[in-house]
Amino acid sequence: MEQRTALDLAAEIRTLQTAGHETALRELLEQLHPADLAEVLEELDEADRAATLQALDAERAAMAVEALDVDDQVVVLRLLDRRRVSEILSHMSNDDVADLLGDLPPEEAGQFLGLMEREEARDIRELLQYPEDTAGGIMTTEFVSVPAVATAAQTIDLLRRLAPDAETAYYVYVVDEQGRLAGVLSLRDLIVAPPETSVGAIMNPNVISVTADTDQEEVARQVSKYDFLAMPVVDAERRLLGIVTFDDVMDVLEEEATEDIYLLGAAGVEEDVDILRLGPWKRATRRLPWLVLLLFGQLVAANVIAGFSSALEAMVALAYFIPILAGMGGNVGTQSLAVAVRGLATGELSRRDIFRALMVEIQTGLLLGVSTGTLIFLVALAWQGIPLLGLVVGLAMTLSMTVAALVGTLVPMVLERFGVDPAVASGPFVTTSLDVTGLFIYLGLATVFLRTVGLTLAG
């Protein structure tokens, strides 16, 4: 089964559906993991998708729908009749339903909510209040909580009664009379404990939690630090509101990494848009605004060169080194940027002394500048035989690399301080501004030196 691709399976399902082999179809669908079913659904056309989702039992249909992207979830649900939609929604996790409805126009979201049980609809309305990228926005309200006086046996009984709805019951939370979080215990603690022990006696009272407004990236960082299966979310009075489960955390980690990589590449897409499905027109229109911005940046560079045209006319060999000076600062800046953006994303950098971190990078830039500056001085001297040119090129390289290390580190730090995603300081933007800086340093130095030495070495 693992060997068969989603394409193979989709073909098989189409064949079985056309031939009307309902039993064989059901058997095939039975064997598939919901995540694989989701991939197969993506390959089917509308009629076959609807038929497949009808052939599945409601719980598995719901799990397959959960594994789809939100865009596809909407497409799929619009194909089905109201009764089926109602069944699927009631079997989906609250947080997934909230994500789905949050993407719909309010009127359609209201219609879907109308198909759900009143209590569930109320929970989901509450979840929809939280911003998407916070703990509240990714938590589910389906958790298991008991009072401290409950026994292990009573708690196991409760779990038995709640199943199979309590799919997120990795932990049982212990709450006091006011619903405030008092402790936590795992299913293993429950199984291992003597049946008549109270959960208050076996729970871990040092329970770590986040508040509903905590940024999802911070939640992911903590879950990953503590290796939790779920993180409890509380309000200001420590009342338990919901839990964020590890699978959502893995999605957040992937999303944030994708976002950082796209932003560093200025690819012009949000992390939750599947760019690989977009055609050339849509891709081009998303990326064009960024490129036009960068083009204006480069036009500034062109103006810098034009402003120093007399130096270039005096020594045309200066032009040969333009891409080197424009480019190498950008390369150092990109290195510094990659280190800073990732350090901020994993929280490694935020835990350290910011000023010291900045100084270390500047010193690194200076060391890199001196070594490559010496190298390019020798190359320029050997190639063109003009000591002045070599000196200008080497000195400009040293200076621009030091500036680049400073800029590449400082910009994401400042953005983070002001609450902006540091990856917005995307590679191309930092490189373009460093292009301009590098050229300015280079041609400025050249002009000063040419004037001071008073030489006209024009070809």
Site for a second copy in 199-238 (CB under 8 A): 206, 208, 223-227, 229
Q: Round to whole Å and give the CA distance between 24 and 17.
A: 9
457 counts as binding a second copy under rule CB under 8 A? no
Tokens matching residue 243: 């839990």
Q: Which residues, at least 6 apart from 89, have a Cβ–Cβ distance to it below 8 Å?
A: 62, 77, 97, 112, 115, 116
Q: Round to whole Å and give the CA distance between 179 and 177.
A: 5
Residue 243 half-sphere exposure, CB side, CA atoms within 13 Å?
A: 26
25 counts as binding a second copy under rule CB under 8 A? no
- Among the listed ranges 116-124, 132-140, 176-184, 352-360, the one in contact with a second copy (CB under 8 A) is 352-360
47 counts as binding a second copy under rule CB under 8 A? no
Give just the sign of the alpha carbon dihedral 299, 285, 420, 345: negative
Among residues 32 and 450, whose Cβ is nearest to a second copy?
A: 32
Q: Round to whole Å and give the CA distance between 172 and 184.
A: 6
Single-letter amino acid, residue 387: P
| Cα dist from 286 to 124, 193, 276, whole Å | 33, 57, 13
57 counts as binding a second copy under rule CB under 8 A? no
Q: How far is the CB of 238 from a second copy (least distance, A)?
A: 12
Among residues 3 and 18, whose Cβ is nearest to a second copy?
A: 3
- Among the listed ranges 20-28, 47-55, 108-116, 164-172, the one in contact with a second copy (CB under 8 A) is 164-172
Of the residues 98, 139, 337, 389, which one makes contact with a second copy according to CB under 8 A: 337
Question: Please, which of residues 110-129 interact with a second copy by CB under 8 A?
Answer: none
Q: Round to whole Å and give the CA distance between 225 and 246.
A: 12
Tokens matching residue 10: 């989709």
Q: How far is the CB of 350 from a second copy (least distance, A)?
A: 10
18 counts as binding a second copy under rule CB under 8 A? no
With beta carbons less than 8 A apart as the criterion, state whether 138 and 128 touch. no
54 counts as binding a second copy under rule CB under 8 A? no
321 counts as binding a second copy under rule CB under 8 A? yes
Of the residues 75, 275, 358, 457, which one makes contact with a second copy according to CB under 8 A: 275
Of the residues 139, 305, 315, 441, which one makes contact with a second copy according to CB under 8 A: 305
Q: Round to whole Å and give the CA distance between 161 and 144.
A: 11
Among residues 114 and 195, whose Cβ is nearest to a second copy?
A: 195
